[in-house]
Amino acid sequence: MPRLLFLSLSILSSCLLAADPPASLPTSLPTSSTNGTVSVTLTEFPGAINNPLKGFRNHKPGGFGLLVRQYIPWNAIELANNDSVDRIIAHTNSITTTSSGIPFENLNIKLIPRVFLDWDGTKGTPEKPNQHWPADLHTFDYDSPAFQSRLQSLIARLGEAWDHDPRIFAVQMGLIGHFGEHHHPAPTPAQRQLLADAFQKAFKNKPVLVRHTDPEFIAAGFGIYYDTFANITREPPLGPHDQFPWQATHVHPHIWKRAPIEGEVEYHWQQQRPNALPDQTFGRTPDETLTSPAFRRFITDKIRRYHASYLGWIADYSPSNPDVLAGAADLQKVFGYRLVLDSVSYPAAAQPGTTINLDLTAHNSGSAPFYLDWPVAVALLDPISKSPVWSAPLSNIDIRQWSPGSDWDSASFSYRLPASPSPQKGHATLPPDLKPGSYIIALAILDRQGGLLPSARFANTNYFRGGWHPLGLFGIGTPPPNPALPPAAFDNPAFDNSLHYAIPPHLRTTSTPPPPPNPSPVTQWSPDPLTNLINPWRSWNLDASNPSPEIKILANPADSTRIIRLSGPFGPSASLNYSFTKPTDLPHRTYRFSFQARGTSPKPISFDLADGWRKITSIQSFPLSPDWQSHHFDFPISSDFKDQPTLRFSLPPNSTGSFELKNPQLTQPPP
């Protein structure tokens, strides 16, 4: 064994013993037999298990993590509307192989893809572009009829490529806005409905996750990917009411029952923003979070409260550090599902070709359901080799119904409604050619799309390497003299690198097709410093508290421009903002901001330039009238920005009316 691998395994073993006492596992199970029925009482495994579809969103060869989230540029999987679905499959092949060349299926790793168009609002460089629009779409054109049609056709192709691909666990919606996070710009209500309908039609077998709790997405039953998970500035009293944490607790408390909740633990904010209170929440780095009991408790509270299945960024921990890995084990136990078999009853014997019935009682001590329709299977194992002689899924067993607790109480650090035992009855028919004799009867959770191979493990001590949980002896023809398993050490279920799944052979043999013929060239958007320094009109976004005005983007047939309309109650704080992505977008000089506005608010609107939340220029106020009025403001930039240049219209607080904006332009004023 290479020295480095030996050291890694030694460190991993010592960490597991520290995190998962006791070091030795039971050698037998409490077993009773009455009137031909065997009953087995099972014990929960005390440690963490590196199970798929949950935990840390990063593959960790030396730790916990069997999920990978991957950003996918739209033009990497579709060059034009007449492209082939084979391009999506071929690209999927390239991103489901580790850096060492091992296919994901060999390591039991699952992928969570997100397709995006615009990384950060800038063009980037030829070597590293930030815009990824297909050749027959115009950059930043989110609202043309052609774009809406292309959304529908691409999503249909994604479903064709991914809905039956065993490598895919869930799909992040993406597509609109910076990073595919539905801001700068946000999808309009019509686009949200289009997206909801298209994804529901395309994905029948995979959960779909979205960034925001918009009504169209909630009605569709989608899950959430939240990019600042557990950051206290993203929920009241410091943050907004329209984001995931507040919404999940006070508006949509049951969304976790239908699809996963996941996201990122945002460490940049922890390091850069004092109001994030890093020393009172979860520290500044993943290793800090995992080595501090107080920080782990804070994150555990959020995982339990929001029923999170897995998280990213915190997954960038150091598995070679024993203390860090022990902390990761603590969180791995509370992430997502943790299915525990309490007891199982089965017949002591049966004849070949007959049906056997099993009674299972189980509970979910984790934080979230198991979201995929994976079957529980029964097997007869060879008593010597422990390999299956026969196996089959049990009918009528649905592990998705094994629900965790709900209504989390931070004070008692427990669910007010704890997980309750779930009794279920399953059956399977034995093959007619089974040889008489004694076998080990065992259970496993199979990957339905992945070749019906053992994958997820129950959190129980009775485990054999290879994915099977042995129960006792079972007779074909006649019952064994003693149904209890003979004393023998079980295997540790925490890590089992023998587990894998299978994929249809045609997937790996699919190659990248040639480019589609004759894609129509488009003119890429580029700012002209003498004409307009800001992106198109759809980069304006509403920042508001509750109640907030309604924002609409309207076509203006009179002059082929677009109108941004805010109407309704403005609430205590509301502003319409354009935020640049980089401070270097505004070099030191004088600028002119011009626009046209109209509206009905009885109070004036104010404009200023901000650096993030910090005001840079003096506030300029202007009244509204029913007719369009032209305005312009000149201001100098003489120092670098600390955060982000933001053009900001502030609406009068606690008033009602309308404000409409068109033709906003930022230029250098004439000499």
129, amino acid identity? P
Output DSSP code: residue 249.
H
Closest by CA position to 259, among listed 182, 370, 367:
370
Domain harbouring 628, CATH code: 2.60.120.260
Determine the pLDDT at residue 66: 98
Does pLDDT of 165 surpass 70?
yes
Is residue 287 domain-shared with residue 402, that is, in the same domain?
no
Question: Once rounded to an integer, what is the mean pLDDT over residues 108-118?
Answer: 97
Residue 257 has pLDDT above 50, yes or no: yes
Q: Which of 312, 334, 356 is the last residue of a domain?
A: 334
Is there a single domain that holds both residue 324 and residue 347? no
Helices 322-334 and 3-19: crossing angle in degrees, nearest 10, is 50
- Residue 316 and residue 362 in one domain: no
Q: What is the pLDDT of residues 484-503, one digit of tens each?
A: 998 777 999 999 999 999 99
End-to-end CA distance of the chain: 75
* 512 lies in some domain: no
Contact 113, 154 (CB under 8 A): no
Domain encompassing residue 616: 537-667
Answer yes or no: do 325 and 342 share one domain.
no
Question: Could you tell me if residue 498 is inside a domain?
Answer: no
The mean pLDDT of 76-96, rounded to a whole number, is 96
Cα separation, 447 vs 257, whole angstroms: 21
SS3 457: coil
My answer on whether 356 and 427 are in the same domain is: yes
Which class for 630: exposed (0-12), middle (13-18), buried (19 or more C-beta within 10 A)?
Answer: exposed
Cα 368 from chain centroid (whole Å): 13
Looking at 313, 334, 355, the residue that finishes a domain is 334
153 part of a folded domain: yes
pTM metric for this prediction: 0.84
Q: Does the pLDDT of residue 616 top 50, yes or no?
A: yes
Please determine, for residue 23, whether its predicted confidence score (pLDDT) is greater than 70.
no
Same domain, 369 and 346: yes
244 within 8 A of 212, measured Cβ to Cβ = yes
Do residues 460 and 42 touch, judged by C-beta distance below 8 A?
Answer: yes
pLDDT of residue 186: 83
Are 38 and 164 members of one domain?
Answer: no
pLDDT at residue 550 in the model: 84
Shared domain for 330 and 342, answered yes or no, is no
Q: Is the pLDDT of residue 55 over 50?
A: yes
Distance from C-alpha of 471 to C-alpha of 119, rounded to nearest angstrom: 52
324 and 357 belong to one structural domain? no
Residues 165 and 112: their CA atoms lie apart, in Å, by: 12
Q: Say which residue, 305 or 560, is predicted with more confidence.
A: 305
- Confidence tier at 144 by pLDDT (50, 70, 90): confident
My answer on whether 454 and 369 are in the same domain is yes
CATH of the domain at 459: 2.60.40.10
- 114 in Cβ contact with 172 (< 8 Å): yes
Final residue before a domain boundary, out of 432, 467, 489:
489
Angle at 193 between CA 200 and CA 131, to 5 degrees: 90
- Distance, in Å, from the CA atom of 602 to the CA atom of 658, rounded to the nearest integer, reads 10
Domain count, the chain: 3
What is the bridge-based pairing of β-strands 550-556 and 355-364?
Answer: unpaired
Residue 285 lies in a domain: yes
Same-domain pairing of 318 and 354:
no
DSSP string, 513-581: PPPPS-PPP-PPP--BTTTB-S--GGG-EEEE-SS--EEEEEEETTTTEEEEEEEEE--SSEEEEEE-S
Please check whether residues 115 and 127 belong to one and the same domain. yes
Q: Write out pLDDT tens, residues 429-440.
A: 999 999 999 999
On whether residue 383 sits in a domain, the answer given is yes
**pLDDT tens track for 582-591:** 555 678 889 9
Please state which of the ranges 4-13, 212-221, 417-426 shows the lowest mean pLDDT: 4-13
Stretch 339-357: mean pLDDT = 98
Q: How confident is the model at residue 525 (pLDDT cuts 50, 70, 90)?
A: low
Q: Give the pLDDT band (50/70/90) at residue 281.
A: very high
Q: How confident is the model at residue 240 (pLDDT cuts 50, 70, 90)?
A: confident
> Rounded to an integer, what distance in angstroms lies between the CA atom of residue 228 and that of residue 79?
32
Q: Is residue 519 part of a domain?
A: no
Q: Which two tokens stand for residue 107?
A: 């390591």
Residue 500 lies in a domain: no
Among 27, 34, 30, which residue's Cα sits nearest to residue 348? 34
Which CATH number characterizes residue 216's domain? Answer: 3.20.20
- In whole angstroms, what is the distance from residue 289 CA to residue 284 CA? 7
Average pLDDT value for the chain? 90
Q: What is the dihedral of CA 205, 209, 210, 216, to 10 degrees?
A: 40
As a whole number of angstroms, the distance between CA 33 and CA 152 comes to: 59
Summarised one tens digit per residue, pLDDT across range 127-140 is 999 999 998 888 88
Amino acid making up residue 586: L
Over 70: is that where the pLDDT of 529 sits? no
Note whether residue 494 is domain-resident. Answer: no
Across 57-147, the runs of DSSP E, i.e. the strands, are 67-73, 110-116
